[in-house]
Structure 1
Amino acid sequence: MLGLAGAGHCLGMCGGIAIALRPSSGASRALPIYYHLGRLVSYSALGGLLGGAAAAVDLAAWTLSLRFVAAVLLVAMGLSVLRIWSGISRLEQIGAIIWRWVAPATRPLIPPRYPLQSFLLGSVWGLMPCGLIYSALTWSAATAGSSINGALLMFLFGIGTLPAMLGATLAGQSIEAFFRHPRLRQFIGISLIFAGVWTAYIAASHAEHLLMPPKASGELSPLTLDAQSPPSNHHH
């Protein structure tokens, strides 16, 4: 659902790239499939890496903090889609610093002529600075509990982005115009904000449970102590 809701943002960031990757005359029609498969593998690898790292830190406060960060990022993404507040772009600017080092690796792969080139290009492009990806990664790391689950969640996120991204590759500007319709953009923005508020609500409702230290095996509650205490002998 997060991948679907972020369709407009995906097209805003990568729509031009997706359209440009339409296979040229004489090239295999399956090249876009390999490109987007590489993108999904890149997302899954990042999800597995962060999911495993988050699970290795066995602290309830750490998990809770990740969930609140994910909630804030989702709300920020929704506000950006609604064009109310573009603060999420600052986070993308930080990611752009890393992208400057990665981008040169894409030049020998453009335009892709073979399935392997297309797959590698999609894998590298999965590292593009994107607030939506950061939101999904933070949320998956907070909820996965393992590297396998983290990879699975990010793979499903990538599946959710396929209608917009693969549609832009195959259908061009017509699908881009559809996802940029003002009413659809409003629906997507509100959906992202709702997802963020709901994530924060779930995190807050479980905060006391997650942060409460477990009772020792021999520790008794006051009610138990009262039940075990012998009755007083009033008639003496």
Structure 2
Amino acid sequence: MEILAAVLIGLSGSGHCLVMCGGIASALQMMLPEQSRWQRLQFQLALSAGRICSYALLGGLVGWLGYQAMGAGGIARQLLQLLAGVMLVLMALYIAKISSVLTGLEQLGSRLWRHIQPFTKRLLPLDTLPKAFAYGWGWGYLPCGLVYSSLSWSLASGSALDGALWMLAFGVGTLPALLVAGQAASTLTRWKNLPWVRYSAALLLLAYGCHTISLALLRLFF
């Protein structure tokens, strides 16, 4: 159920991904050498694979830190689950365009991105699949409140493996939107911004967030 929730979060937040990364994906597609449609798809998949792998690495690291905090630090897992539930509620409010609190988290990763961005520029032009994968790996560290809030679930996962799997599933959820970024990006963005689509996704995330919060509180006090 948690893996499906991670995919849903990635899919529901893909409208944000198109705003943040759709332009990058479209620009990179235009910069690729003249190739067949299948070859260009391979390059797009290599880019996305690198990005998703960076998410999984971050998830594994954060999951390990959460495990250490639960053991050595004595922090109850329920408290970390409570944090994850709150972050999911904030994510639902963000998708519904009721609150923009998550945008503040994007500033936290700006310092790291300043060190990674020069490395990605050296990989251009993306004329080989390994270079495309490496560029995607660096792309995964682009400051993004949606990614950072999803990492709170990895923190409460209880292990490095579970944290990595959570972020891997989240990355897979963002994959469809970025693969079609280009001519279809504007169409998908309009669809994602339809009120009934946006509010339906937000309600699902809100319900799961509230469910997680209630479980964490019950385990803490009962």
Deviation of 1:118 after TM superposition, in Å, equals: 0.9
Asked if structure 2 preserves the Cα contact closer than 8 Å seen for 1:42 and 1:123, the reply is yes
Q: Which residue of 1 aligns with 2:218?
A: 205
- Closer, same or farther in 2 for the Cα pair 1:19/1:135, shift >3 Å? same
Post-superposition Cα deviations, 1:173-222, rounded to whole Å, max 9, x if no partner, equal 3333322333322222333322322221121121135xxxxxxxxxxxxx
Asked if structure 1 preserves the Cα contact closer than 8 Å seen for 2:56 and 2:164, the reply is yes
TM-score, normalising length: structure 2: 0.84
2:19 pairs with 1:12: yes
Post-superposition Cα deviations, 1:10-67, rounded to whole Å, max 9, x if no partner, equal 2222121122222545143110000000011101111111111211231663422222
TM-score, normalising length: structure 1: 0.79
CA RMSD of aligned residues (A): 2.1
**Identical pairs, percent:** 38
Please show how residues 151-166 of structure 1 align to structure 2 within 5 Å. 151-166=164-179
Asked if structure 2 preserves the Cα contact closer than 8 Å seen for 1:32 and 1:169, the reply is no
Asked if structure 1 preserves the Cα contact closer than 8 Å seen for 2:102 and 2:149, the reply is no
2:98 pairs with 1:84: yes
- Closer, same or farther in 2 for the Cα pair 1:207/1:170, shift >3 Å? farther
2:40 pairs with 1:33: no
2:200 pairs with 1:187: yes
- Which secondary structure state, in structure 2, belongs to the residue aligned with residue 85 of structure 1? coil
- Closer, same or farther in 2 for the Cα pair 1:108/1:117, shift >3 Å? same
Asked if structure 2 preserves the Cα contact closer than 8 Å seen for 1:79 and 1:189, the reply is yes
Letter in 1 for 2:20: M
By percentage of residues, which structure has more helix?
2
Q: 1:54 aligns with which of 56, 61, 66?
A: 66
Letter in 2 for 1:122: G
Please show how residues 170-185 of structure 1 align to structure 2 within 5 Å. 171-185=184-198
**Counterparts of 2:19 and 2:185 in 1: how far apart (Å)?**
13
Of residues 53-62 and 71-80 in structure 1, the stretch that sits farther from structure 2 once superposed is 53-62
**Counterparts of 1:53 and 1:6 in 2: how far apart (Å)?**
25
Q: Which residue of 2 aligns with 1:135?
A: 149
Q: Which residue of 1 aligns with 2:138?
A: 124
Of residues 112-121 and 66-75 in structure 1, the stretch that sits farther from structure 2 once superposed is 66-75
Of residues 17-26 and 34-43 in structure 1, the stretch that sits farther from structure 2 once superposed is 17-26
Asked if structure 2 preserves the Cα contact closer than 8 Å seen for 1:79 and 1:85, the reply is yes
Structure 1 segments (4+ residues) deviating >4 Å: none
Please show how residues 220-231 of structure 1 align to structure 2 within 5 Å. none
Figure out how many residues of one structure are paired with residues of the other and give that number. Answer: 208
Q: Which runs of 5+ in 1 are unaligned?
A: 210-236
Letter in 1 for 2:107: Q
